[in-house]
Amino acid sequence: GESVGLHLPTLSVQEGDNSIINCAYSNSASDYFIWYKQESGKGPQFIIDIRSNMDKRQGQRVTVLLNKTVKHLSLQIAATQPGDSAVYFCAEKNTGTASKLTFGTGTRLQVTL
Amino acid sequence: DGGITQSPKYLFRKEGQNVTLSCEQNLNHDAMYWYRQDPGQGLRLIYYSQIVNDFQKGDIAEGYSVSREKKESFPLTVTSAQKNPTAFYLCASSLRPLGNEKLFFGSGTQLSVL
C-alpha cells in the first residue's frame, strides 16, 4: 500500500508467485489512473492505465483493478519475475484539468529467487 | 529512436549558483512537465507547459524557472532561491495537454549540492 515518509512499503514475493500492489487515491473526481514502474536511477516506465468507467483492465501479465466506491486501485502481476523488482507508483488525474498526474509515494517490489 | 533526453545525468551545484537541466523530446508532444523526486517519496510537479511559449506553475514552483521557446525543449533552471535543491529531477511529455494520456519520462538528472 501507500505511505508517507522516507521508507517505502516493501512487498517481497517469490519468483513465480503473483504480486498484488495496492494504492489508495484521494480524489473522487479523478477519472484516469496509471501505474508506473521505476528502476533505480531511471525514469518511470508506463505499465498500464485505466479510465474511471472501467473496473478492470488486463495487459501482458498485469491487471489493474479499480474500486471507485472505496477509492482503491490495485496492480496484479502474474508469475512475478526478477526483472519485476522495482518501485511501483500509482498516479491519478482529475476530470477536466490539464494532464497533471498526482503520484502516490510508491511500493517497492522485491522478487526473491 | 523517439524519446525524451535529459542531460546531464549528474549535476552539482555550488551555493548561490543557478543551474539548468536540459530536456529534449522528439515525440512531437505538445505538453511537457518537470517533476521532482525525493528519496522514498512520490513525484511532485514543479512546472508544466501545454504549448510552446506557455507554462504554468505546479505544486512546488518556488525557486525554479522554465522556458518553452521550442516545442521540443523545456529546460528547467534551479535558482539560488531553491534552498533544498538536492533531488532527482524528471522531465516528461504527453501528446495532448488535456487528454487522459500517459506521460513519457526521461531518465532523470540527479542534482546534488557541493
Which residues from B are below 8 Å from A42, CB to CB?
107-108
B97 touches chain A (CB under 8 A): yes
Which residues from A are below 8 Å from B97, CB to CB?
98-99
Contact at CB, A6 and B39, closer than 8 angstroms: yes
A7: nearest CA partner in chain B: B40
A89: nearest CA partner in chain B: B42
B84 touches chain A (CB under 8 A): no
C-alpha cell at A90: 500509482
Pairing of strands B10-13, B109-113: parallel
B37: nearest CA partner in chain A: A105
Q: What is the 3-state secondary structure (H, E, C) of B24-80?
A: EECCCCCEEEEEEECCCCCEEEEEEEEECCEEEECCCCCCEEECCCECCECCEEECC
A103 touches chain B (CB under 8 A): yes
What is the full DSSP assignment across A30-64? EEEEEEEEE-TTS--EEEEEEETT-SEEE-SSEEE
Answer whether residue A7 shows pLDDT above 70: no
A69 touches chain B (CB under 8 A): no
* Residue A93 pLDDT: 87
Mean pLDDT, chain A, rounded, equals 89
Kindly report, residue by residue over A37-59, the tens digit of the pLDDT: 999 889 999 999 999 999 999 99
Answer whether residue A4 shows pLDDT above 70: no
Which residues from A are below 8 Å from B106, CB to CB?
43
Task: Calculate how close chain B gets to A65, using CA atoms only, in Å.
Answer: 17
Average pLDDT over residues B43-60: 94
Kindly report, residue by residue over B60-109, the tens digit of the pLDDT: 999 999 999 999 999 999 999 998 999 999 999 998 876 667 899 999 99
B49 touches chain A (CB under 8 A): no
C-alpha cell at A54: 472501467
